[in-house]
Structure 1
Amino acid sequence: MLGALFLLAAPLAAALPPYVVETTVSHDRRDLPIVNAFAERPVENTYIAVFNSTFGTEAIDARISAMSSTIQKRNLNKRGLDGKYLSTEMKSITLGDWRCAAFQGDADMVREFNGADEVAYVEADTWYKTTAAIMQTNAPPGLNRISHARAGEQGYIFDESACEGMTVYVVDTGVRVDHVEFEGRAVMGANFVNNVDTDENGHGSHVAGTIAGATFGVCKKANIVGVKVLGADGAGQNQGILQGMQFVLNDVKSKGIQNKAVMNMSLGGGFSQALNRAIAALLDGGIVPVVAAGNEKQDARNTSPASAPQAITVGAIDATNDQFASFSNFGSVVDVNGPGVKVLSVGIASTVATNVLSGTSMASPHVAGLTAYVMGLTGRQASEMSDMLKSLASNSPARVKNIAQGTSPLIVNNGNLS
């Protein structure tokens, strides 16, 4: 969250007016020069300025400095309609050659910043959430489905050595790293929500368990890095998600694990040019971005990060019968489908707790784990993984039943066709 920083000036005498006059900011976003003026769930008075990549580092640094100075001066003692003081800080985010900055401000500030040559566009910051995991009972294992050509087969067939040295970043609600399923292979890497460095919701831990849990995981020897961008209520701001992605890119680079890293994002919200562009920067950095299609029963091209061309976007099926999940988003941006109905994985009530959830949130980590598995087994580059997963799925005769027109019918498979 953007921090609230403000000063109170005490008058020298009762007869003198206060040194700083407090004002309230109010404007209609539909009148602003922003690319998502009609976005759902906007964050009040909060925006993301995306910089023009044709300008060099020095020019953008200078523009950020000027913008930061403007914010510090003009946001002093200003409140939004929610009664909270506007932040006087600006958060700069860099992913490779792509740069943006999050700020709070009034309509005049948005117009001024948007008019700068170095700024490509401004969009409203918006709220994102987990892709609507639903409590269920009596879970059949989804692992069986991704290692067989037909639904209903028993046993998960895999190469146990394939995931050694692979790292999967779970950009979510955090991870309960002391759960026995993770065998000491999970750590919390960063937190952009609060000071509680664990999973307060349960969603992220469940996702991580499907990726790399000893029992429930697809890629059982992979390392897990939790990146907390969503709070206890399963919601978070786009700027926090972008900061989380910046951490992932920098962490992979510092560890030298390019093309040995996958990022799972089981979250979604309205369409965001900034978020989709950040996805591209991660793939350029040797990281495979795997994302959930979403659970609104709508065309996923209207949402992000599902609509990002460089992401592997995952729809959900019922692993017992290959039926397309009733809740799953659909459309041409869906690349493959994975088990997302009644998935058993890690819970957070204790170090041995389990939970059963449904959603494209659960389908995505099956594919993220499989991506890490195939990368580890073949040594292929991050940029090759989308086509390779589709090729493996195409080799299987299985196809999704009752799927929406224009949606890929491919069901992920690890190469075992028995």
Structure 2
Amino acid sequence: MKKSRSVMMSLLLAASLAVPAGASAAPDQQSNNAEKFRVYVEVSGESAQKTKASLQKKYDSRWELGANGFSTDMNEAQFKALQNNKNLKLTKVDEVSVDTLRSNKNVTTAFAAPADQTPWGIEAIYNDANVSATSGGSGINVAVLDTGVFTGHHDLQGTVEQCKDFTQATPLVNGSCNDVDGHGTHVAGSVLADGGSDGSGVYGVAPDADLWAYKVLGDDGSGYSDDIAAAIRHTADQAVATGSNTVINMSLGSSANSPLIEDAVNYAYDKGVLVVAAAGNSGFRVGSIGYPGALENAIAVAALENRFENGTYRVADFSSRGVRKGDGDYLIQEGDVEISAPGAAVFSTWPNGGYNTISGTSMASPHVAGLAAKVWAENPGFSHVQLRTELQNRAKANDILGGRSAAVGDDLASGFGFAKVN
């Protein structure tokens, strides 16, 4: 989500199934050709299922998100035509986008063995300045919900288990997750890049994990909350169906909470999936954590810089800060930052086989998602709740004292601290 992109709040309206008496076919045909927007329709009442089925047929249902709700595209005239039915609630679907401070340093568009195979963030999270390769994550799935992934990258092609697109006119296209933007490929690399078949490429935190590359954002880095919610629910269902431990990484968000995404996050969490998300790049303002990172059932990750202050890594000024009332209590509530990880000037994989160095909490989140996969593989009997507690305890052991609002213990800048491999 590019920082400048605005996000529209949801608008809830009562709706009606009835077309005004006397309406002619010609205006209706003109209406069907008018510009459309995404809408979520919730149906209530004794005949909810019948009404829902009728509406889905008429308005080409996109996603079913709940027993009595679905998303679709309609124009303003169609939207207004549903205003008077007390059994309908219409919500204009939010837009969500990636949140990255792009510097595009050292960008390459074709594979060439990188001089640094274990970038500073990998060295930091492994607590080893001399680490030359990484390991771990076997048997764990990491679903990267993003702009897609260039799955043919030298350092990623051996990790891909699923590749799906949730953004097309026909929802859920299997075998397609093309990344034009680059953001998703970069994120995936930090999670589980494996150096390639010859070991000459870059390494992520958990190279033995399996990648579920889910494209939920368009080529411009923005998308709709219903597509994201559908992908979250799909991830959870896939985790249950395969009987596997699964982590979701969402390096995306907005300043406004989306009920569709919140319900989907809760759905996934209830099914045992660990959800990790970027805290946002609206720092250093207090109470600026973006959604879905701000949700209680998601781990909000703050960004650290590769420099020290007060004897520890420093929280970047751009990294969003948590709520004041959550400061110091080692408890997670809505709006808290939970864990910190490397997020400034991060070197990782890029489309067409190259690499790029960019910054943002979008870059910090995948470090934690990778660590979660690595720790879970080492402790396969952990529930997702136990895994989350383990990550919190590791963060407590590495308190962060550098950066605005950073302090001893749980603070609104770094949360519990910097969770590491060792």
Q: Secondary structure at the match of 2:212?
A: strand
Describe the shift of the 1:51–1:307 C-alpha distance in structure 2 as closer, same or farther (beyond 3 A): farther
RMSD: 3.0
What CA distance in whole angstroms lies between the structure 2 residues aligned with 1:372 and 1:246?
19
Kept in 2, the 8 Å contact 1:173–1:230? The answer is yes
Shift of 1:48: 2.2
Query: What does the per-residue CA deviation read over 1:197-244, in whole Å, with 9 as the maximum and x for residues that have no partner?
Result: 311111111100000002330001111010011111001011111121
Partner deviation per Cα, 1:346-371 (whole Å, 9 max, x = no partner): 01123xx1111101110000000001
How does 1:166-315 map onto structure 2 within 5 Å? Answer: 166-194=140-168, 197-214=177-194, 215-257=202-244, 260-269=245-254, 270-297=256-283, 298=285, 303-315=290-302
The answer to whether 1:141 aligns with 2:116 is no
Correspondence for 1:390 = 392
Q: State the match for 1:101 in structure 2.
A: 70
Distance 1:110 1:392, change over 3 A: farther
Is the Cα contact below 8 Å between 2:315 and 2:413 reproduced in 1?
Answer: no
The aligned counterpart of 1:89 is: 60
> How far apart are the structure 2 equivalents of 1:101 and 1:320?
47
Match of 1:84 in 2: none
- d(CA) in 2 for partners of 1:51 and 1:159? 50
Q: Which residue of 2 aligns with 1:37?
A: none
Q: 1:412 aligns with which of 412, 418, 422?
A: 418
- The 3 A distance-change label for structure 1 pair 384 and 158 is farther
- The answer to whether the 8 Å contact 1:136/1:358 transfers is no
Question: For the Cα contact (< 8 Å) 1:146–1:338, is it kept in 2?
Answer: yes
CA shift, 1:182, in A, is 1.9
Query: CA shift at 1:109, angstroms?
Result: 2.0
Higher mean alpha-carbon deviation, 313-322 vs 396-405, is at 396-405
Q: Distance in 2 between matches of 1:21 and 1:107?
A: 14
TM-score (norm 2): 0.74
Separation of aligned partners in 1, 2:50 and 2:267: 24
Q: Which residue of 2 aligns with 1:32?
A: none
Q: Return closer, same or farther for 1:254/1:331 CA change in 2, 3 Å cut-off.
A: same
Q: Following superposition of structure 1 onto structure 2, how do residues 109-128 of structure 1 map, counting pairs within 5 Å? A: 109=82, 112=85, 115-116=86-87, 123-128=91-96
The residue type paired with residue 137 of structure 2 is C
Asked if the contact 1:173/1:199 (under 8 Å) is kept, the reply is: yes
The 1:213/1:169 distance shift into structure 2, 3 A limit, reads: same
Are the structure 2 counterparts of residues 232 and 392 from structure 1 closer, same or farther at C-alpha, using a change threshold of 3 Å?
A: same
Give the Cα separation in 2 of the matches to 1:287 and 1:343. 26
Q: Report the AA paired with residue 52 of structure 2.
A: M
Aligned partners of 1:294 and 1:300 also within 8 Å: no
Unaligned runs of 5+ in 1: 1-16, 26-42, 74-87
Residue identity opposite 1:410 in structure 2: F
Match of 1:47 in 2: 39
Residues 210 and 100 of structure 1: is their aligned pair in 2 closer, same or farther, counting only changes over 3 Å?
farther
SS of equivalent to 2:268: helix
1:386/1:241 CA distance change after superposition, 3 Å: same
Distance 2:43 2:318 in 1: 36
Counterpart contact for 1:92–1:102, Cα < 8 Å = yes
Amino acid at match of 1:124: K
Residue segments in structure 2 that go unaligned for 5+ positions in a row = 1-22, 107-115, 195-201, 324-335
Is the 2:150–2:352 contact (alpha carbons within 8 Å) kept by the matching residues of 1?
no
Aligned identity (percent) is 25
For residues 69 and 287 of structure 2, what CA distance do their matches in structure 1 show? Answer: 24
Aligned counterpart in structure 2 of residue 340 of structure 1, from 340, 343, 348: 343
- The corresponding residue for 2:331 is none
